[in-house]
Structure 1
Amino acid sequence: MTNILISKLNNQIIQCKKCPRLSAYIKTISINKVKRHAHEKYWGRPLSGFGDSEAELLIIGLAPAAHGGNRTGRMFTGDNSGDWVAKVLHNNGFATKPTSHKIDDGFDLINAYITAAVKCAPPQNKPSKEEINICSYYLREELLLLKNVKVIVCLGKISFDTLKRMLGIKHQKFFHGNKFSYDDKTILCSYHPSRQNTQTGRLSWDQWNEIFLEAKAMLSN
């Protein structure tokens, strides 16, 4: 039943056009492609979450990448952030392979589900407050449907702040490694594995891996 309900929600997400600026942007960049992907057909629509509907681990990102998920049709697929996500999930037993390049590449999640605070790629990776609020409806529905989730990993401040507002969490701030309990769940905060963070050394591989080692340990207990 959960699979059916999630599939229904995902269809709603894919067809969503509630944010005119985002709808126009993902359409425009799907036509005016970057040179390295000029020969490819872009997805160019909102992106739903994906993974195991019975997952105990939920990962919340910011939004699809303009030439990553917005091109390939799957979050964290076909870009540098996706490389870090795929590798760390595979290393810790949450994915079937360490790479995520295209939608039919055999990359599947194990006891994990990936989604984002915003389902469309925003210009300059900066959704407006209104766009975040509109899209929060879908994240709220995902949280209701994913009934087995025990650990939530928030990638970046926007995803954390979105979840915080949604759940009414008080007296918690975003910083890498922050961990706290909320009801029957544990929430973990991590810097987003964007190039801006990974190539400047703000987020090292060891720091990144430690987040998922911790998530794995909590789910093993």
Structure 2
Amino acid sequence: MRRNHRDRVPTTPDDPRYPAASAPDAETVADMDSALVGCRACPRLVAWREHVATVKRSAFREWDYWAKPVPGFGPADARMAIIGLAPAAHGGNRTGRIFTGDPSGAVLYAALHAVGLASQPTATHRGDGLALRGVRITVPVHCAPPDNRPTTVERDTCRPWLARELALLRPTLRVVVVLGGFGWQAALPVLATAGWSLPRPRPRFGHGAHVRLADPRTGRGLHLLGCYHPSQRNIATRTLTIPMLHDVLRRAAHLAEQ
């Protein structure tokens, strides 16, 4: 149920309550993204993302860093959602688009292109022509965290954005692919709150995990798939190989079309 305007908590973007107060009021994905990019609710993350944008890496010294929360990317009527972790300090935090300009994104977008879900295999900057086909990519934490490790408080503060995004995608959403255990743990309570029924005990993350969540209201289920995160470490150690990633994405695409 939508809140009456008299029940809203007046907040500014630097108030920790800002996501919880602002996200539910977004009527469209575009509205939500617009509110999200102004968020300053987590002081540590704000300080870090802006510090990185000042110090920069030598390879990117000519870049004007985005240095704001990074919204999701992809169509608002997607049948598949991919949930990662958070923007990379010199990737999404630099380019303003999730998984863009960093090694993990290079692997992910090349794989999406290989299975027919992206228009091109590379992602370098906003406006590079990349388009996703039936897929929206998002994250549970929208600001780059130090050492790629958001705190549980930061995750929970940011949670309303993910909750609203999935709610807005709900009419078309058929499959959610979660990259890594952090994203899995962040996504489960959001999905439960949104009305999908989780089995008991709660499903555990694993590469190739596949759980069908029931929707008591519509009778239409949601497929939840686990995939190792395409991080440099996972690729270097072959914890995740390109064929393994392709396999999960192909399965997800097939399920989304059923």
Short-chain TM bin: over 0.9
Task: Please state how far the C-alpha of 1:219 moved relative to its aligned partner.
Answer: 2.3
Instruction: Identify the range of structure 1 (165-174 vs 38-47) with the bigger mean alpha-carbon deviation.
Output: 165-174
Question: How many residues matched?
Answer: 219
Aligned residue type for 1:158: F
The alpha carbon displacement at 1:63 in A equals 0.2
Superposition map of 1:20-169 within 5 A: 20-147=43-170, 148-168=172-192, 169=198
Instruction: Give ranges in structure 2 of 5+ residues lacking alignment.
Output: 1-25, 193-197, 215-220
Choose 1 or 2 for highest CA Rg: 2
Distance in 2 separating the partners of 1:87 and 1:167: 28
TM-score (norm 2): 0.83
Deviations 1:67-98 (A, max 9, x none): 00000010010111111111111111211111
Deviations 1:146-167 (A, max 9, x none): 0211000000111100111223
TM superposition shift of 1:4 = 6.5
Q: 2:27, 2:164 → 1: CA distance?
A: 13
RMSD, matched Cα: 1.2
Q: Distance in 2 between matches of 1:78 and 1:143?
A: 25
CA distance in 1, matches of 2:257, 2:152: 37
Aligned residue among 11, 27, 35 for 1:12: 35
Counterpart CA distance in 2 for 1:166 and 1:79 is: 27
Partner AA of 2:212 in structure 1: S
2:210 equivalent to 1:179: yes
- Structure 2 distance, partners of 1:143, 1:79, is 25
Q: Deviations over 1:7-38 (max 9, x none)?
A: 11001110001100001100000001011111
Name which of structure 1's ranges 84-93 and 110-119 shifts more when overlaid on structure 2.
84-93
Where structure 1 has 5 or more consecutive residues not aligned to the other structure, the ranges are none
Distance 2:255 2:166 in 1: 19
- Point out 4+ residue stretches in structure 1 off by more than 4 angstroms: none
Aligned-partner Cα distance in 1 for 2:103–2:72: 19
CA distance in 2 between partners of 1:132 and 1:16 (Å): 14
Task: Give deviations 1:41-84, integer Å, cap 9, x for gaps.
Answer: 11000011111111001000100000000000100101111111
| Identical counterparts, % of pairs | 36
What amino acid sits opposite 1:206 in the alignment? P
